[in-house]
Amino acid sequence: MKEVQILATGSYVPDRIVTNDELSTVMDTNDEWIKTRTGICERRITTGENTSSIAAKAALKALESSYIKPVDLDLIIVATATPDCYTPSTACIVQDIIGATNATCFDISAACSGFIYGLNIAYQFIKNGAKKNVLVIGAETLSKILDWNNRSTCVLFGDGAGAAILGCGEEKGLIEIHTGSDGRGANLLKCNAASVDINNKDLKEKIYGNTEDVDKSYLTMEGREIFKFAVKAMGETIDTLLNSSELTIEDIKYIVPHQANLRIIDYMIKKLKVDSKKFYTNLQYYGNTSAASIPIAMDQMNREGLLEKGDKILLVGFGGGLTWGGTIIEWTINKNK
Ligand code: UT7
């Protein structure tokens, strides 16, 4: 049976940098609070771009660094909480931009765990022989759904996109994958779908009766509850992956966590009793980019030359849903490819 491998990675972040100091000029916050509570120093914000365009830029970077042509892709999965539209899917729009005319395309909704869920779906399609070359993208323009009047959430997030092309080969690639969900925590981190907006009050009452509008479509989060969930989900996911792969933490060169908060990562470093260098972080520069955070980090590690063929890395994410997931990957890409 062929193995499922990551063949190439790519990422894209918008040029516009918004620092903590800049935020403190427009709202009641400050660099010290944001840095000490989260580790975030700055984030990227899209100006005039939507999720599909930044997703396509990340995809093109992955394609450029592989031997795969857009027409060779037979499946495109976009994980996003901030799609361009209800329909069509962001994946279909990306397909058109990059010219992947032979691909089947769809989006998935699993918040910050979305890229891991996407890898899992890609793995199943490739392993059972249904698809050969699969593009998985995590992309977000979270700045569009933030309540910029709520300092507890808006300082935490940023925009960006990361991509990976998966295919099959002889060497071991994706070794183990685990995902889970718990809808009982659905209200802890959410963004409502857009409410119906009919300007004509009489017409609106005739259709809907005298009902209240649902909440506006902003991202809301119970930060402390999510923090507790995050450390539990990360710990359990790492344990599950190590147990089922019969590997130890020493076998793992890098852990690539969802980039939400440095304090969550510090907690995991202490719990696992590992060197802090084992955890890759870049949230200082990008904030929390939800589904994009893990693939952006993985692409940066790849491009910075941190990953050697044969290294084992562990990706782990958690987020709204509630959802969580992780994977252990044996790196199969030659350095500087
Ligand atoms: O990808 C999704 C996963 N999300 C996460 O992993 C987030 C997990 N949660 C967290 O990271 C933390 O809960 C936060 C960073 C969101 C918040 O940290 P916290 O230590 O839980 O702070 P808090 O919400 O309890 O707020 C503490 C204080 C409050 O003031 P009082 O009531 O103590 O006077 C807030 O009003 O900090 C205040 N505060 C701020 N102050 C300055 C909240 N936001 C800000 C701000 N600037 N931006």
Domain end marker among 142, 171, 200: 171
Both 106 and 122 in one domain: the answer is yes
pLDDT of residue 334: 85
Domain end marker among 143, 171, 199: 171
Name the domain count of the chain: 2
Both 153 and 180 in one domain: the answer is no
Please give the distance, rounded to the nearest whole angstrom, from the Cα atom of residue 178 to the centre of ligand 1.
29
Both 67 and 153 in one domain: the answer is yes
Both 245 and 322 in one domain: the answer is yes
CATH number at residue 81: 3.40.47.10
Q: Is residue 199 part of a domain?
A: no
Q: Is residue 197 part of a domain?
A: no
pLDDT of residue 284: 98
Which residues are known catalytic residues? 112, 258, 288
Q: What are phi and psi of 183, to 5 degrees?
A: -65, -10
Give the residue, out of 227, 266, 267, with the most ligand 1 atoms within 8 A of its beta carbon, to mutate for a pocket test: 227
Q: Closest ligand 1 atom, CA of 230?
A: 6
Q: How far apart are the first and last CA of the chain?
A: 26
Q: Closest ligand 1 atom, CA of 151?
A: 48
pLDDT in tens, the chain (337 residues): 589 999 999 999 999 999 999 999 999 999 999 999 999 999 999 999 999 999 999 999 999 999 999 999 999 999 999 999 999 999 999 999 999 999 999 999 999 999 999 999 999 999 999 999 999 999 999 999 999 999 999 999 999 999 999 999 988 899 999 999 999 999 999 999 876 666 677 777 787 777 666 556 899 999 999 999 999 999 999 999 999 999 999 999 999 999 999 999 999 999 999 999 999 999 999 999 999 999 999 999 999 999 999 999 999 999 999 999 999 999 999 876 5
**Protein residue with its CA nearest to atom 18 in ligand 1:** 37
Q: Is residue 193 part of a domain?
A: no
Both 179 and 167 in one domain: the answer is no
Please give the distance, rounded to the nearest whole angstrom, from the Cα atom of residue 218 to the centre of ligand 1.
17
Domain end marker among 171, 202, 235: 171
Interval 98-123: pLDDT, tens: 999 999 999 999 999 999 999 999 99
Please give the distance, rounded to the nearest whole angstrom, from the Cα atom of residue 15 to the centre of ligand 1.
27
**Protein residue with its CA nearest to atom 48 in ligand 1:** 151
Please give the distance, rounded to the nearest whole angstrom, from the Cα atom of residue 156 to the centre of ligand 1.
9
Both 160 and 259 in one domain: the answer is no
The parent domain of residue 303 ranges over 175-185+218-283+292-330
Both 135 and 75 in one domain: the answer is yes
Please give the distance, rounded to the nearest whole angstrom, from the Cα atom of residue 223 to the centre of ligand 1.
6
Q: What residue ranges line ligand 1, CB within 6 angstroms?
A: 29, 33-34, 37-38, 112, 151-152, 155-156, 189, 223-224, 226-227, 230, 260-261, 264, 288, 290, 319
**Protein residue with its CA nearest to atom 20 in ligand 1:** 37
pLDDT of residue 335: 74
pLDDT of residue 204: 74
Both 31 and 128 in one domain: the answer is yes
Both 40 and 141 in one domain: the answer is yes
**Protein residue with its CA nearest to atom 42 in ligand 1:** 29
Q: Is residue 205 part of a domain?
A: no
Q: Is residue 196 part of a domain?
A: no
pLDDT of residue 215: 56
**Protein residue with its CA nearest to atom 47 in ligand 1:** 29
Please give the distance, rounded to the nearest whole angstrom, from the Cα atom of residue 146 to the centre of ligand 1.
15
Q: Closest ligand 1 atom, CA of 111?
A: 1
Spatial separation of the C-alpha atoms in residues 160 and 54, rounded to whole Å: 7
Both 11 and 148 in one domain: the answer is yes
**Protein residue with its CA nearest to atom 10 in ligand 1:** 223
Q: Is the dihedral of CA 57, 62, 66, 68 positive or negative?
A: negative
